[in-house]
Amino acid sequence: MEISIRNEAESDYRKVEEITREAFWNLYVPGCNEHYLVHILRDHPDFIGYLDLVAEHEGRLIGNIMFTKSYVMNEAGQRMDTLTFGPVSVLPVHQRKGVGSALIKTSIEKAVDSGYKAVIIYGDPQNYCRHGFKNGKDFGVSAPDGSYPYGLLVVELEKGVFDGHSWKFFSSEAYEFDNNAVEEFDDQFKPKAKEHKHSQDVFSIQIRAALK
């Protein structure tokens, strides 16, 4: 599948929100909130504009990836700035055709030259290990409470950067928002039915799972 990747333009904003809504609707919860997250991320101080990429196919937008600043702290109180991406959105009709992989690969290649030492995300290992991600435990990187969640995934941009220390990961406050605002925002879009799907049960298990 032939695609081109470029930075998001202001004229893309609404279409990207629509793509994100379609990509996540009923996936993790009935409905979704990712399109609202995309909407508010762009104005957040942790948002990294040069890593905000869209994918086009035959002149139409079909996917997007966005990054924010994040950081880790070690046992000595030393801070290291890191990157986090999400959401990664691809229109359902174009999923499993390499679009999401291309967005991730291209953005990580750009991130290598950014000065950041690692990319850390919460996600499904089945989707991200193919891109070099490993569980945080492999690098001594935990959640703030010291646990090693199943979905806490790390890829080094500088080899060995975590060696010799234990670290706790802190994502951007941009991901903490009022869900009541989601409903109001969603009213601007074409109505869609909220339904229960088995993927929501899988997600509920995954977010509670941790490595020992």
**Domains annotated on the chain, with CATH:** 4-211 (3.40.630.30)
Global pTM reads 0.96
95 contacts 3 by C-beta, under 8 angstroms: no
Q: What is the pLDDT of residue 14?
A: 98
Strand spans (E) along the chain: 4-7, 53-57, 60-74, 79-90, 118-122, 134-135, 141-142, 148-149, 152-156, 167-170, 210-211
Q: What is the pLDDT of residue 197?
A: 97
Give the whole-angstrom CA distance, residue 153 versus residue 159. Answer: 15
CA of residue 98 relative to chain centroid, distance: 17
* Residue ranges in the chain modelled with pLDDT below 50: none
Q: What is the pLDDT of residue 190?
A: 97
Q: What is the pLDDT of residue 180?
A: 92
Q: What is the pLDDT of residue 81?
A: 97
Q: What is the pLDDT of residue 212?
A: 87
50 contacts 7 by C-beta, under 8 angstroms: yes
Consecutive H or E run containing 112 = helix 99-112
